[in-house]
Structure 1
Amino acid sequence: MKRSNIKQLAWRNLWRHKTRSWLTVSAIAITTLLLVFMLSFQFGTYETMKEQNLSLLSGFAQVQNPDFKEQPNLEHGFKIPEKWSQILDQQKMLAAYGYRAQTFAILSNLPDSRNRAVQIIGVQVDKEKLLSSLSQKVTRGDYFADQSVKMPIVLGKQLADYLELKIGDQLQLLGQDAYGSLAVELFTLVGTFDLNIPELNQQLAQIRLNDFQTLFAYPNQAQQLVMKSDKLPQMDLFAKSLFAQLQQTNYPQILLWRDWKDLQPALYQAIQMDIASAFLWYSALLLIVILIVVNTLYMSLLERHNEFALLHALGMQPNQISRMLALETLFLILLGLLLGWLGGVAISAYFIQVGINLPGMEEMYAQFGISGTLYPELSALSMGFVPAVFLMAWMAMSVVIRFKLSGIRPLTGRQL
C-alpha cells in the first residue's frame, strides 16, 4: 500500500469515533493553550521583575574593584580613565552608563535633635536619570533640577520624615574621607523619593558625584561603573568584548565585571527556584494528558485487533499497519497542538499589548521594585516546550505500536 493511501486511511479512521477523537484533541489543545500562555506570562514576569528591579539602583552590569564586593568602602575604588568615555560612547547597544561612589555617614538636622547613619551615593545626575528609575520616584521637590543650590541632596521619604526635614531645609553631613580625616558639610534638601521599599527609604541619600569627590577627598575616582542596555539579554552579547576593551586601555588596576546575577543573587536564585517548581507542575499536567492519549491508543489497539488481522490478510504488512496507527495518533496530537498553540499565542500577544493587572498585588510587587502591570513574553521556549514534549511522547508511542503489532498474524486475529 502506498504511503499516501496509508495517510488517507489513517485520517478517515480518526473520525470513525468522532467523540473520542475530539475529546483527545480538546485535552491536548487546552493543555497547550494553558501552558503556552502560562510560560509566556511566567517568563514575561521574570523579565519585568529583573529589568525594573535592576533599573532601580544596581543597573544591568557593573565594573568594580574586585575587593569592593566584600568591602564596599572608599579604599576599594578606581581612577576613572579618560579613554573609557570614548569606548563606552561607541557601544550602540549600551543605553546608559555612569559612575558612582558611596560611603556611610551621619545625617542630622541643624537643631541636632535627630540624626541617622545612612548610605551616601554620589551620582552623575544627567546620566543617572537614564540609568536609574529613582529619579522618576521623587514625590516632593525635584531631582537636582535647581542648579543654583550649592550642595543639594535627595533623601528617601521616610528618612526625611524621621529627620523632620522639608524641601529647602539644611542638614549636616558628618563622615570620614578617603584619608581618614573628618568630612563635614551642610547640604540643602531638594527632593525626597519613595521607592516603596522602607529599608531603602530609611537609609539612602544621593548627592552629586563631583560634590562627593570633593567632600571625601576622592578626586576623579569612583567605585562603580554602572551600565544598562535597552534589554537585559543584550548586555550578555557585548559584555566580554566591552570589558576587554576597557582593560586594553593600559589601565594598571585589576577590575571585576559583575553581571546582574552577581549583583542580585537573591533575585536570580528566587527565579531559578520558581522555574524549577513551575516546570514540575507543568510536567505533571503534561504527563496526565499524555497518559490520556496513551490510554486512547491502547484501547484502540485492543478494540481493533481483528481489524488489523484482516488488513494483514488483505496484504498490509505489520510495519504498514503500525505506521497507520502511528499516523492516527500523530494527526490527533498535531490537530490539538495547532489549535492550542494558536490560541495560546493569540492570548499572549493580546496581553503583551495591554498588560495584565492583578488587583491588590501592587503593594507586594512594589516591594520588589516592579509595577503592578505585568506583560507576557513569547519566546522559543514558551512556544516550543509543549509541542516538543508531545512529539517526543509520540515517537515513544510509535515504538510501542510497532512492537505490539509485530506479532500479528493474518486471519487468526491473535490477541495482541
Structure 2
Amino acid sequence: MIFKVAWRNIWRAKVRSFIVIGSIAVGIWAGLLIIGFSFGMNNERTASAIGTTTGHAQIHHQDFDAEPLSTAVIADSATVVALREKVEALPFVSGTAQRTVLGGMINSAKSARAVRIMGVWPEEERLQTTLADYIVDGDFFEDSGRNRLLIGEKLAKRLGLKLRSKVVLTFQDAEGNLSRASFRISGIYKTLNATWDEFHVYVHHEDLEKTIGAPLVHEVLVRFEETVDTEEKAGALAAAMPVGLAVKSWKQVRPELGFADDMMAIMLVLVLGIIMMALLFGIINNMLMAILERRRELGMLMAVGMNKRKLFLMILVETLMLGFVGGPIGILLGDLSTRA
C-alpha cells in the first residue's frame, strides 16, 4: 500500500519530480564524466611513459641503480641474448629490447648539460617502444650516416641546437675512462614527458661502440602483453633472473608516475564524494520543500490513521523511487559521454 501511494504521489507533482530526477541524473553524469576524463588523462600519460621510454619492467645489474657506471653491465653479449630468450619465453612477456645506458655531458656552442646517453638498437626500439612516433623533425636512425644523435625538443632549445647541428658527448668507456665523441643531430623528438626529453639523448649502439671499445648492455626493457598486475609480473620476472640481476617495474623506474596513479585514485574518491554529498543535500532540500508544500495532504493522511513511522516510510520510499529513476539515467549518460 505504501509503495503504491508513494508512486502515485511522485507523479501527482510532475514538475517537482522531474527536477529531482534531473538533479540526480546530472549529478551522477557529472561525477562519472569527471572520473572518466581524469582516468583517461592519467592512463594516457602512463601508457605514453611505458610505451615510449620505460617499458613495463627493466632488468639491470644489481649495482647499476646505486651507481650507474659503464662497468655495471648485465653480462656479455652472448649471455644477454640467452637471458632475453628466457624472458621472452614467459607467457606474459610480449618482447624485450637491450640498451646501453651511460651518464655524461652534452656540449654545444651555446651551453653544456648533464644527460643520460641511451645506446639503442633501432629495430628493437621500434618494435618495443613508440619513441619513433614522437619524432618532430628528422628521423629515427633511418639514414646511413655515422655518429647520429636523437635529442629531445626541450633540450635542443636550451642548447640552441637544430637538425644537423654538431655536439660533443663526454662519457665513460668500457674501462671506466672518460671519452669524447662528436655527434650530429639526426632527429628531434617530443614526448608527453618534458622532463625525460630534457635529460635523455639517443645514439645508435654501433656509433657508441666505436668510442667505448665494446658492446655494453646495461638495460633490458621488457614489455608485457597487458598493463595489468605489473607488480606481480615483475616479481615473477625477478624470480626467474640469475643472481646479480635486479628487476624493476615501471612504477619503481618512474616512481612519480606510480605516485600520480595513487594520488589520482585518492583525488577521484574525494571529488566523487563531494559531488555525491552536494547531490544528497540537493535531494534532501527538494524533499523538504515537497513536505512543506504537502502539509495539508500529510495532515489528512495522519487524520485517517497513518502514523508517523508509516508517513516517514512513505517519504523515504518516494525518495528512493526518484533515485532509482534518475540513477540509471545518469549512469547511461555518463557511459555514453565517456565512450564518446
Fold in common (TM above 0.5)? yes
Structure 2 counterpart of 1:310: 304
CA shift for structure 1 position 213: 5.0
Is 1:191 aligned with 2:186? yes
Change (3 A) 1:30 1:170: closer
CA shift for structure 1 position 338: 1.5
Structure 2 Cα separation of the partners of residues 309 and 25 of structure 1: 30
Q: Percent identity?
A: 21
Conserved? CA contact 1:61–1:227, under 8 Å:
yes
Q: Deviations over 1:284-323 (max 9, x none)?
A: 332122123234445666732551463448xxxx876655
CA shift for structure 1 position 23: 1.7
Change (3 A) 1:260 1:52: same
Structure 1 counterpart of 2:140: 143
Amino acid at match of 2:330: G
Conserved? CA contact 2:11–2:17, under 8 Å:
yes
Is 1:238 aligned with 2:233? yes
CA shift for structure 1 position 254: 4.1
Structure 1 counterpart of 2:124: 127
Structure 1 counterpart of 2:45: 49
Is 1:269 aligned with 2:259? yes
Change (3 A) 1:306 1:50: same
CA shift for structure 1 position 40: 0.8
Structure 1 Cα separation of the partners of residues 103 and 262 of structure 2: 33
CA shift for structure 1 position 46: 0.8
Structure 1 Cα separation of the partners of residues 146 and 113 of structure 2: 23
Q: Deviations over 1:118-169 (max 9, x none)?
A: 43211121121133333223344322223x44544333455499486753x7
SS of structure 1 residue aligned to 2:140: coil
Conserved? CA contact 1:108–1:163, under 8 Å:
no
Change (3 A) 1:321 1:195: same
SS of structure 2 residue aligned to 1:105: strand
Conserved? CA contact 2:146–2:207, under 8 Å:
no
Structure 2 Cα separation of the partners of residues 291 and 171 of structure 1: 63
Structure 2 counterpart of 1:358: none
Q: 2:218 aligns with which of 197, 216, 223?
A: 223
Q: Deviations over 1:378-398 (max 9, x none)?
A: xxxxxxxxxxxxxxxxxxxxx
Structure 2 counterpart of 1:252: 243
Q: Between Structure 1 and Structure 2, whose CA radius of gyration is higher?
A: 1
Is 1:336 aligned with 2:326? yes
Q: Deviations over 1:159-212 (max 9, x none)?
A: 499486753x7765443224233435555x361213267765565332233554
Conserved? CA contact 2:62–2:244, under 8 Å:
no
SS of structure 2 residue aligned to 1:103: strand
Q: Deviations over 1:259-286 (max 9, x none)?
A: 2322222333345445544543432332
Is 1:73 aligned with 2:73? no
Structure 1 Cα separation of the partners of residues 299 and 61 of structure 2: 74
Structure 2 counterpart of 1:356: none
Structure 2 counterpart of 1:414: none
Conserved? CA contact 1:106–1:173, under 8 Å:
yes
Conserved? CA contact 2:74–2:245, under 8 Å:
no
Query: Map of 1:28-39 to 2, 5 A cutoff?
Result: 28-39=24-35
CA shift for structure 1 position 226: 1.6
Amino acid at match of 1:46: N
Change (3 A) 1:162 1:294: closer
CA shift for structure 1 position 341: 1.3
Give the TM-score, by structure 1 length: 0.66
CA shift for structure 1 position 234: 5.8
Structure 2 Cα separation of the partners of residues 252 and 236 of structure 1: 20
Structure 2 counterpart of 1:367: none
Structure 2 Cα separation of the partners of residues 284 and 115 of structure 1: 49
The RMSD of aligned alpha carbons is: 3.6
Structure 1 counterpart of 2:89: 90
Query: Map of 1:286-297 to 2, 5 A cutoff?
Result: 286-297=276-287
Structure 1 Cα separation of the partners of residues 219 and 299 of structure 2: 73
SS of structure 2 residue aligned to 1:258: strand
Structure 2 Cα separation of the partners of residues 339 and 292 of structure 1: 17
SS of structure 2 residue aligned to 1:233: coil
Conserved? CA contact 1:96–1:127, under 8 Å:
no
Structure 2 Cα separation of the partners of residues 161 and 300 of structure 1: 65
Structure 2 Cα separation of the partners of residues 119 and 193 of structure 1: 16
Q: Which moved more, 1:319-328 or 1:95-104?
A: 319-328
Structure 2 counterpart of 1:8: 4
Q: Deviations over 1:24-64 (max 9, x none)?
A: 11111110111111111111111011111333322232223
Structure 2 counterpart of 1:22: 18
